[in-house]
Amino acid sequence: MIEYKKLSNNFQYIEVKNSKAKAKIALQGAHIFEYTRSDEEPILWISEASNFKYGESIRGGIPICWPWFGLAKDKNLPQHGFVRIFIWEFHNTSEIDKNTTEIILKLKHSKQSLKLWSYKFELELKILISDNLTLMLKTKNLNDKPFTITQALHSYFNISHISEVSIKGFDKKPYLDALTMKQKKQNGDIIFNKEVDRVYQEVNDEISLKDKNRVISIKNIGSSSVVVWNPWIDKCKRMSAMNDDSYKTMVCIETANAFDDKRVLKPNQSHTLEAVIF
Ligand code: TA6
């Protein structure tokens, strides 16, 4: 089942249900903000304080950070790019079989985007909803000169409690600690007892998020950098659209092309960043 829905403020999204899972995807930002497998707790975290309104990114789910991840050089430009608050087009929806639904959204450069970033582009996000969730974000350069992007599928995962989780797949990996801007090396699994904001590099193994009663795995393609973030107590209080205790039930593991994993695309060249969550 695929249903087109609208909130009273005209905020549009589609709701998908098949025999394996259900999902909700907003037109703003091509933002998936629910993915729940049958008989399971939601996989994606969504803030109880999140607003669903145009011009504000949803806090939770999987925001798309593009064409830059993090702060822009020009401080007047928004953090994490602009496409998470742009309205995408539902290009195609299809029920492939009773277990799998495919949704394709597209966004092209416009007068509005060219004011923020002076390149012509085409973005396509393909989402496959089944007992796995797959996101494929394809960037195509439509200019006659190259451009450079950094980007992320900024996935917020729903967890039982931050003290219960550990993340495997980063042992011995170098990372940039975004809190100190120092290069460090991971030793063992990641656990959380303070604010964590890191760009892991040279990541090519499967990642697993181990929680009390389940393990969520993530496989990344077209990426060698992964951002891991939990705001912890103080930053959580300062974050927009988050409650003071939100940090307890979420962790971000973001499939990225960030920091030195930036990508340069020549005219007509494409690059696909893909995450499979299972
Ligand atoms: O990916 C981690 C991060 O860059 C953090 O530094 C943090 O502030 C977060 O993303 C959320 O950013 P946002 O712009 O959505 O408030």
Q: Strand, coil or helix: what is 248?
A: helix
Question: Which atom of ligand 1 has the smallest separation from the CA of 235?
Answer: 8
In the reported structure, the alpha carbon of residue 94 is separated from the centroid of ligand 1 by a whole-number distance in angstroms of: 33
In the reported structure, the alpha carbon of residue 36 is separated from the centroid of ligand 1 by a whole-number distance in angstroms of: 24
Question: Which atom of ligand 1 has the smallest separation from the CA of 240?
Answer: 16
- Long-range contacts, 207-210 (Cβ 8 Å, 24+): 207/167, 207/168, 207/169, 207/170, 207/253, 208/167, 208/168, 208/169, 209/157, 209/159, 209/165, 209/167, 209/251, 209/253, 210/165, 210/166, 210/167, 210/168
Tokens of 73: 């050089």
In the reported structure, the alpha carbon of residue 24 is separated from the centroid of ligand 1 by a whole-number distance in angstroms of: 22
The best mutation among 57, 62, 179, 252 to test binding of ligand 1, ranked by most ligand atoms within 8 Å of the C-beta, falls on 252
The pLDDT, as a whole number, for residue 81 is: 98
Which protein residues touch ligand 1 with a CB less than 6 Å away?
A: 57, 70, 79-80, 154, 197, 227, 229, 252, 254
pLDDT block averages, 10 residues each, the chain of length 278: 95 97 98 97 97 95 98 93 97 95 98 98 98 98 98 98 98 98 98 98 96 97 98 98 98 98 98 98
The number of distinct structural domains making up the chain is 1
Look up the CATH number of the domain holding residue 248.
2.70.98.10
In the reported structure, the alpha carbon of residue 71 is separated from the centroid of ligand 1 by a whole-number distance in angstroms of: 9
Question: Which atom of ligand 1 has the smallest separation from the CA of 252?
Answer: 1
Whole domain around residue 95: which residue ranges? 2-277
pLDDT tens for residues 156-212?
Answer: 999 999 999 999 999 999 999 999 999 999 999 999 999 999 999 999 999 999 999
Beta carbons within 8 Å of 268's beta carbon, 6+ residues apart: 140, 141, 142
The pLDDT, as a whole number, for residue 261 is: 98
Question: Which atom of ligand 1 has the smallest separation from the CA of 154?
Answer: 1
The pLDDT, as a whole number, for residue 73 is: 87
Question: Which atom of ligand 1 has the smallest separation from the CA of 239?
Answer: 16
The best mutation among 79, 175, 181 to test binding of ligand 1, ranked by most ligand atoms within 8 Å of the C-beta, falls on 79
DSSP code at position 81? B
Question: How far is C-alpha 122 from the geometric centre of its chain's CA atoms?
Answer: 18
